[in-house]
Amino acid sequence: MGVVKLVVIGGDAAGMSAASQARKRLGTDRLEIVAFERGHFTSYSACGIPYWIGGAVDDLDALIARSPEAHRTAGIDVRLRHEVIAIDTERHEVVARDLAGGGEVRESFDHLVYATGATPVTPEWAQVSAGGVFGVQTLDDGTAIQKWLDGDPTPQTAVVIGGGYIGVEMAEALLLRGLDVTLLEKSAQPMGKTVDPDVGALVAEAIRGQGIKVVTEAHVDGLETAGGRVRAVVTPAGAVPADIVVLGLGVRPNSALAVAAGLPVGPTGGVRTDRRMRVEGTEGIWAAGDCVETRHLITGEPVHVPLGTHANKQGRVAGINLAGGYSSFPGVIGTAVTKVCELEVARTGLTEKEAARAGYEYVTALVESTSRAGYYPGASKMTIKLIAERRTGTLLGAQIVGRAEAAKRIDALAVAVWNRMSVEEMTALDLSYAPPFAPVWDPVLIAARKATEAVHKTA
């Protein structure tokens, strides 16, 4: 067997996980790897950017899991500041532009891993030449924001547009940097795509309690600029001063290159793969990470859920398979957690809106409890919401808001959703107990009990 050549497009989680797995299995004698990355960094935590901006993480290097030099030492030819601009699927060749030195290079491949990630949603009104308007997707974006905040004149006011994960995290980060922050959200509550309105109201209350101005049902008409800098965000209610604007309007799969190459793309805009992460209808072409479409395990529908956890798993699966092994990625259930000011906000499975759209009849249970035994120091309020199928009681989804230990509980609920447990089965779960960690009746058990009662009433 001769030397196999692997080309990777994208040097972050999915792409480099695939490359590392393939290298581990085939070694350096049997596998040549070239990885193209248009930015300045490889294998980094984009999720950590708000915490670096806000000062919780001191050192940029802490966000980098493996540097280009480390990958090169492992036998991976990492080429930074190279953007792949074309894929020839018939000739098994890619064309990359050297963004630093100029010119183009062509590279043939036996296997190709498409791991281009996602791109921030940027409306036409936000596409201005003035400085101070940022998306937050890559570490290069993070360094650009940091440079702007440290520049002269020092920004005093910030507007974050969009109240999803990155929006609320960046709003808090900018507040911690001492800026006067306004969060504009088009829905009735922040995190409207993540949690139901009753839970979102708790999030909004917490954000406002920290001193961030939250404007819901907000519409943005455009940006005011002067002297090459952004000055304000224009809304029907008037202009909101802004020395920096952060776009938190979500992301879309970076699949334009795939579309141009004739690779299949699904209804979410993500590249379509099989369970082994091979691009459908191809041989030797794989895709992983935020650029792909995956399957929701509850609804069976295609979804785009851009998270580093999925990207690393999918990259690992692709690397194992292209190296001759066998692995599969079954799909997702939408588990996520974030820190919003003093709150932990977590979810798994379906929201009410998603359950209704999927055709489920369901019941809900909303309970308030404490994170620890009420008498133990540090005990704080926790709200848990469960969504269960009306007839069977199968757990469809869960949401948690609390000042501590929300992440601990959402993982238990995610396991229950994954394994199609009923809320009645959950009432007997053998969960850990000690006063510093939980009340004798854990909030998960209380919520399961209440949901069971709701199921029985409608049976």
Could you list the active site residues?
A: 47
Q: For the sheet containing 133-134, what is the strand order? A: 133-134, 244-247, 157-161, 180-184, 213-215
3-state secondary structure of 386: strand
* C-alpha 6: how far from chain center: 27
Q: How far apart are CA 360 and CA 351, in angstroms?
A: 11
Strand partners, 157: 180
Q: How far apart are CA 245 and CA 164, in angstroms?
A: 15
* C-alpha 228: how far from chain center: 32
Token pair, residue 422, equals 């009923």
Q: How far apart are CA 26 and CA 38, in angstroms?
A: 26
Angle between helices 197-209 and 165-176 (to 10 degrees): 10
CA neighbor of 159 nearest in space, from 171, 141, 144: 171
DSSP characters for 3-60? -EEEEEE--SHHHHHHHHHHHHHHHHHHEEEEEEESSS-SSB-GGGHHHHHHTSS--G
Q: Within 13 Å of residue 248, how many CA atoms lie on the same side as its CB?
A: 28
| Structure-token match 């820190």, residue found | 339
3-state secondary structure of 1: coil
Contact present, 400 and 419 (Cβ < 8 Å): no
Strand residue runs (E) in 111-152: 111-114, 118-120, 133-134
Eight-state DSSP code of residue 428: T
Q: How far apart are CA 142 and CA 109, in angstroms?
A: 32
Q: How far apart are CA 428 and CA 445, in angstroms?
A: 8
Token pair, residue 417, equals 């959703």
